[in-house]
């Protein structure tokens, strides 16, 4: 069983039912919908297709709605894509025009106030570099130092400029409501700058009586500096290295990535490592050796999940990209420092829940347990056990479909639906039966069981038992 989870972005290259089925078969655990592109109807149809494909394949797949957040973006471009040649002049304008050669709209009226002659602007995740030559109230005139292709709604980066963009816009809140209506399983918020940025989203979700997990995307220098507080406030983080590598000196990105993964691990907060992990597979059927090493190193650093973006959204080989990601993870996991992680990774055992999770993972190595089974109402116990990185699989027994799907993001956790037992002995037998049915144990094996007594309460894990499969 592969422990590292795979998040794959769904787009024009991967939204057909047959392709979705093959991606799920190859190991996609979480399907990402990028709300910066497409519309509500398109995303709703894609959601239906993902659910149907997962049902046909017989695997649990979660859906992640990615909210654009406060980012400067290019407006609509004629035909969807235009070329920006090196050495040409390009005007960025706040006028309501359709983009094309020589002129691109930007949906931010204050753009010309943010830049001055000599400043650098990046487009297309840093692939295109512009140098500002002149400004007017509505236009920013630039020289194209490095050209390339620009698509509608792609991002625009102003390194070292702190913009006054709102934390969360009315459009973002509308997209969140759309995601809730579609039934997405988790939400990611882009361009978080501080823990306070999550508060209006939490309040909005509370007003909708939703407890959906919120993933904070770390892609601004301010977020990297405030990482500890953001991790405390979020349900998970995503290390989005594309914009991070433009806003920060690029040589610092690997160090920031490692630090964020350590901080997230110590707080049992799941982490996704994202952007350009297998970028060459947008066009090539095989990744570069450096990309393979990048994925493996993220797993060695303790990431819960690795993410594919353009590789599966618009690339020529979406199925092969998922397959390759899975193969890299499986090979890497054979050599992970599990024993060291048990003592160094995960939260300090400051309460009974942490202590039980720590002890359960320790028993895997001391007693040769084949699996740890966690009946859970909220997914918390499974998340804590996962944070200590057991070498044996973790089976989360859920009574709620939403919780089951959320567990698909947790490293090493397999989730399934089971009826809640009302008696302690029934609970133990139910756990043993589930481990056998899921193929994690056979007669004569030992498994670990965590539980809350008496059964039926949320957040009350107070038992760990070594159980012999009979």
Question: How many Cβ atoms are within 10 Å of 158's Cβ, its own excluded?
Answer: 18
* All residues at 6 or more sequence positions from 372 whose CB lies less than 8 Å from its CB, including other chains: 360, 361, 364, 385, 390, 392, 393, 394, 395, 447, 448, 449, 450
What span, in angstroms and rounded, lies between the C-alpha atoms of 427 and 20? 36
Contact 323, 28 (CB under 8 A): no
List b or e across 296-312, with b for residues whose CB sees 16 or more CB atoms inside 10 angstroms.
bebbebbbbbbbbbbbb
Residue 449 phi/psi, 5-degree rounding, is -130, 125
Nearest by Cα to 417 from 443, 392, 437 = 437
Instruction: State yes or no: is 217 an active-site residue.
Output: yes
Query: Under the phi-then-psi rule, with left for phi > 0, alpha for psi from -120 to 50, and beta for the rest, what region is 233?
Result: alpha
Instruction: State yes or no: is 131 an active-site residue.
Output: no
Contact 388, 410 (CB under 8 A): no
Contact 381, 413 (CB under 8 A): no
Question: How many Cβ atoms are within 10 Å of 339's Cβ, its own excluded?
Answer: 12
Instruction: State yes or no: is 2 an active-site residue.
Output: no
Catalytic site residue from 22, 193, 217, 370: 217
* All residues at 6 or more sequence positions from 344 whose CB lies less than 8 Å from its CB, including other chains: none
Catalytic site residue from 2, 5, 22, 32: 32
What span, in angstroms and rounded, lies between the C-alpha atoms of 329 and 197? 33
Catalytic site residue from 47, 94, 135, 275: 275
List b or e across 55-75, with b for residues whose CB sees 16 or more CB atoms inside 10 angstroms.
eebeebbbbbbbbbbbbbebb
Instruction: State yes or no: is 275 an active-site residue.
Output: yes
Nearest by Cα to 164 from 139, 193, 131, 134 = 193
Beta bridge partners of 368: none
Catalytic site residue from 51, 59, 73, 258: 73
Nearest by Cα to 364 from 385, 379, 335, 349 = 385
What span, in angstroms and rounded, lies between the C-alpha atoms of 46 and 14? 10
Length of the chain (residues): 470
Contact 379, 406 (CB under 8 A): yes
What span, in angstroms and rounded, lies between the C-alpha atoms of 337 and 81? 45
What span, in angstroms and rounded, lies between the C-alpha atoms of 420 and 184? 24
The catalytic residue positions are 32, 73, 217, 275
């Amino acid at each position: 069983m592969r422990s590292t989870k795979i998040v794959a972005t769904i787009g024009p290259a991967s939204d057909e039912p047959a392709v979705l089925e093959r991606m799920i078969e190859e190991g996609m655990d979480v399907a990402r919908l990028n709300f910066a592109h497409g519309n509500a109807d398109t995303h709703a149809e894609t959601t239906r297709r993902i659910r149907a494909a997962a049902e046909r394949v017989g695997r649990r797949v979660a859906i992640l709605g990615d909210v654009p957040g406060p980012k400067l973006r290019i407006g609509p471009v004629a035909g969807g894509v235009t070329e920006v040649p090196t050495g040409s002049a390009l005007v960025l304008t706040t006028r309501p025009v359709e983009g094309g050669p020589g002129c691109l709209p930007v949906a931010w009226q204050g753009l010309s106030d943010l830049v001055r002659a000599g400043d650098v602007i990046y487009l297309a995740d840093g692939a295109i570099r512009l140098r500002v030559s002149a400004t007017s109230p509505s236009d920013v005139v630039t020289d194209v130092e490095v050209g390339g292709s620009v698509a509608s709604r792609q991002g625009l980066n102003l390194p070292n400029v702190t913009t006054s963009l709102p934390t969360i816009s009315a459009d973002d809140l509308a997209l969140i409501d759309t995601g809730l209506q579609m039934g997405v399983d988790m939400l990611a918020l882009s361009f978080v700058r501080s823990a306070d940025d999550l508060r209006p989203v939490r309040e909005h979700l509370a007003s909708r009586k939703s407890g959906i997990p919120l993933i904070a995307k770390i892609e601004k220098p301010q977020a990297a500096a405030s990482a500890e507080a953001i991790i405390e406030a979020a349900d998970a983080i995503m290390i989005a290295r594309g914009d991070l590598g433009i806003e920060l000196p690029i040589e610092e990105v690997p160090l920031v990535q490692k630090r964020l993964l350590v901080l997230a691990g110590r707080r049992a907060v799941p982490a996704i490592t994202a952007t350009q992990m297998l970028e060459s597979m947008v066009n090539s059927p095989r990744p570069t050796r450096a990309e393979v090493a990048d994925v493996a190193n993220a797993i060695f650093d303790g990431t819960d999940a690795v993410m594919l973006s353009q590789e599966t959204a618009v690339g020529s080989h979406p199925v092969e990209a998922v397959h390759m990601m899975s193969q890299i993870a499986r090979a890497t996991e054979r050599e992970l420092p599990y024993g060291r992680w048990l003592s160094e990774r995960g939260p300090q055992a400051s309460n009974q829940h942490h202590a039980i999770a720590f002890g359960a993972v320790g028993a895997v190595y001391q007693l040769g347990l084949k699996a740890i089974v966690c009946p859970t109402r909220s997914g918390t116990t499974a998340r804590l056990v996962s944070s200590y990185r057991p070498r044996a699989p973790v089976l989360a027994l859920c009574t709620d479909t939403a919780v089951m799907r959320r567990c698909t993001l947790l490293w090493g956790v397999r989730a399934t639906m089971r009826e809640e037992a009302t008696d302690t002995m029934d609970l133990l037998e139910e756990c043993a039966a589930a481990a056998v049915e899921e193929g994690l144990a056979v007669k004569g094996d030992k498994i670990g069981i965590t539980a809350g007594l008496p059964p039926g309460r949320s957040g009350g894990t107070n038992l760990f038992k070594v159980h012999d499969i009979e």
